[in-house]
Amino acid sequence: MSLSTQRRALELSGALDTALAEAASVRGQGLWQDARRRLHANFTARWSLRFLLVLTFVALLAPLWPLPSPMALELAEVPQAPRFIPPWLPGWKHRVTLHFHLTEPVESRELLFRADSALAGIVTLATRVQPEVFHGSVEGRLETIEVALPYREEFDPQRGSNIEELVRTQLAGKIENGRLLLRNGGAVALAYAGVTAQNGYWELNRIDQLLLDLRYNLFQFHQTNSWLGTDAKGRDLLARVVWGSRVSLQVAVAAALVSLVIGVVWGSVAGWLGGWVDTLMMRVVDVLYSIPFLFVVIFVITILSQYRAELAENFGIGHLTAFFAVLGMVTWLSMARVVRGQVIALKHQDFVAAARLLGASHTRILWTHLLPNCLGVVIVYLTLTIPSVMLFEAFLSFLGLGVEPPRVSWGLLASDSLEALNPLATTWWLVLWPALAMGSTLLALNALGDGLRDALDPKLRS
């Protein structure tokens, strides 16, 4: 072999190497990578996704945030007018309330106020915290004096506080024959009636309770002021919007699960088997489709609410769970149709025939060959189903048929805001903030759905 040919061979192999290296560096793009890239390139979809992720984060960790209570606190006897409190002023706090029962009518207002300050003094001595005093009346008659402390674990008798004993000891020296003796003469007949601690939440599940404990440990009893104002019952609007978003989230998850499980199975089985099974199954979908669902759902919810006790006792199904299940029923129809169409389009393709020739079973073909190919459509339809179901929930809660107080959802907020509206005091913030929350979430979901549809559409592939 001459020197030149050797060199040529070397050059060639070098060229081959570079070519090979080049080839190795080129990556084929799968559908999903491509979709991700295109979704990322879509400005609106990208920001919608980020917004939704932040919303989910905030909603999931709702008990952790140092927000005021989303629940009505039974404090003042006069319902609070909704206030648009400037953000720098403090709002309502969670409370521990000591109740005193007035056993006889108080003779004068002056005496009452002196009794108030005496009780406040006693409580301050026992707890070293300055309390607020409220009066409770039944049918216009003054019945109770309530001494309220900010909620702290050390005052909560359910968490082992001895606040009652402390107050009783302090009281013992000042009460004679059931009358509280006041410093400058005079007495008020009253009896200690017990203590209630409102930590400001409905019954939470264990994880939420843990988050709430974590919150108390992190922030003690600091909390935000009422940044978005309060509603007609003095409840903090921001807290209600945040806690309300959880219901929307739950509904989204429930709807997604039902339409995934029932819709996908129904549609794929109908599409794959074909023939009379397909006709029958799709006829069922058609019949259900032609019924105006909101009406049927309302009807079913009304009936279900009659069985609330039975459902809770025998099956452990709460009202909320039943509500979500009923909502889920509505969502799977269009999913079933779409999946069926996709399966029919796919099932005559060569790769399915190949799988069949190799002896794959029906379930295997469906599960490993057809359904992954439907995934794009399924995802797109999920993102389109979820906003409509959220809307549906808001609708029902708005009508008073969905989530019930003290829990809160965006639909309830909207209906509360409309109830509070009156020509004398325009409570615009009650309307505006929930509207913004709901509108931007639905907008983001729609935008994300559109973006996903474009991203997963192979025809638009660049």
Partner 1 sequence: MIRFLARRFLWFGVAVLAVVTVSFFLMRSVRGGPFSTERALHPAIEHNLAARYHLDWPLWKQYLQYIGPLNLDEGRARLLGGDGSDLFGGVLSGDLGPSYRYRDYTVNAILAQSLPVSIALGALALSWALLLGVAAGIASALLRGGALDAVVRLTATIGIALPNFVLAGLLIVALCFTSTWLPPAGWGRLEHLVLPAFVLGAPFAAYVARLTRSGVLEVLSQDYVRTAVAKGMPPRIVVFRHVLRGALLPVVSYMGPAAAGVLTGSLVVEKIFAIPGTGTHFVNSALNRDYTLAMGVTLLYTVLVYTLNLVVDVAYTLLDPRISLDEA
Residue 300 near partner 1 by CB under 8 A: yes
At position 187, the amino acid (one-letter code) is: A
Q: How many residues bind partner 1 (CB under 8 A)?
A: 46
Residue 447 near partner 1 by CB under 8 A: yes
Secondary structure in 3-state letters for 79-131: CCCCCCCCCCCCCCCCEEEEEEEECCCCCCHHHHHHHHHHHHHHHHHHHCCCC
Residue 405 near partner 1 by CB under 8 A: no
Nearest partner of 324 among 255, 270, 380, judged by Cα: 255
Site for partner 1 (CB under 8 A): which residue of 32, 428, 460, 461? 428
Least spacing, CB of residue 395 vs partner 1, in Å: 6
Nearest partner of 219 among 364, 9, 68, judged by Cα: 68
Least spacing, CB of residue 301 vs partner 1, in Å: 8
How many whole angstroms separate alpha carbon 225 and alpha carbon 423? 27
**In the stretch 20-59, what mask flags binding to partner 1 with x, by CB under 8 A?**
----------------------------------------
Residue 384 near partner 1 by CB under 8 A: no
Residue 399 near partner 1 by CB under 8 A: yes
DSSP state letter for 143? E
Least spacing, CB of residue 105 vs partner 1, in Å: 32
Residue 294 near partner 1 by CB under 8 A: yes
Q: Which residue has the tokens 């559109």?
A: 450
Residue 423: is the preceding peptide bond cis (ω within 30°)? Answer: no
What are the φ/ψ torsions at residue 324 (nearest 5 degrees)? -65, -40
Residue 322 near partner 1 by CB under 8 A: no
Stretch that binds partner 1, among 84-92, 109-117, 250-258, 293-301 (CB under 8 A): 293-301
**312 is written with which tokens?**
């809770």
Site for partner 1 (CB under 8 A): which residue of 295, 359, 459, 462? 295
Beta bridge partners of 196: 97
Residue 298 near partner 1 by CB under 8 A: yes
Residue 415 near partner 1 by CB under 8 A: yes
Q: Are strands 187-198 and 179-181 parallel, antiparallel or unpaired?
A: antiparallel
Please, where are the H alpha helices in 187-318?
206-219, 237-258, 264-273, 275-289, 293-306, 308-310
Stretch that binds partner 1, among 72-80, 101-109, 113-121, 299-307 (CB under 8 A): 299-307
Count of other CB atoms within 10 angstroms of residue 203: 9
How many whole angstroms separate alpha carbon 376 and alpha carbon 457? 8
Q: Are 425 and 415 in contact (CB under 8 A)?
A: no
Residue 381 near partner 1 by CB under 8 A: no
**385 is written with which tokens?**
């189903």
Nearest partner of 388 among 291, 268, 287, 293, judged by Cα: 293
Residue 303 near partner 1 by CB under 8 A: yes
Residue 423 near partner 1 by CB under 8 A: yes
Site for partner 1 (CB under 8 A): which residue of 69, 97, 342, 417? 417
How many whole angstroms separate alpha carbon 163 and alpha carbon 221? 18
Residue 311 near partner 1 by CB under 8 A: no
Stretch that binds partner 1, among 89-97, 129-137, 204-212, 418-426 (CB under 8 A): 418-426
Residue 432 near partner 1 by CB under 8 A: yes
State which residue, 214 or 460, has the beta carbon closest to partner 1.
Answer: 460
Least spacing, CB of residue 458 vs partner 1, in Å: 20
The CA R_g of the chain, rounded to the nearest whole Å, is: 32
Residue 313 near partner 1 by CB under 8 A: no
Site for partner 1 (CB under 8 A): which residue of 28, 173, 275, 292? 292
Residue 438 near partner 1 by CB under 8 A: yes
Stretch that binds partner 1, among 215-223, 302-310, 313-321, 454-462 (CB under 8 A): 302-310
Beta bridge partners of 100: 145, 192
State which residue, 214 or 399, has the beta carbon closest to partner 1.
Answer: 399
How many whole angstroms separate alpha carbon 11 and alpha carbon 107? 113
Please, where are the H alpha helices in 93-236?
109-127, 163-172, 206-219
Residue 312 near partner 1 by CB under 8 A: no
Residue 76 near partner 1 by CB under 8 A: no
Binding site for partner 1 (CB under 8 A): 283, 286-287, 290-292, 294-296, 298-303, 306-307, 387, 391, 394-395, 398-401, 411, 414-415, 417-418, 421-423, 426, 428, 431-432, 434-435, 438-439, 442-443, 445-447
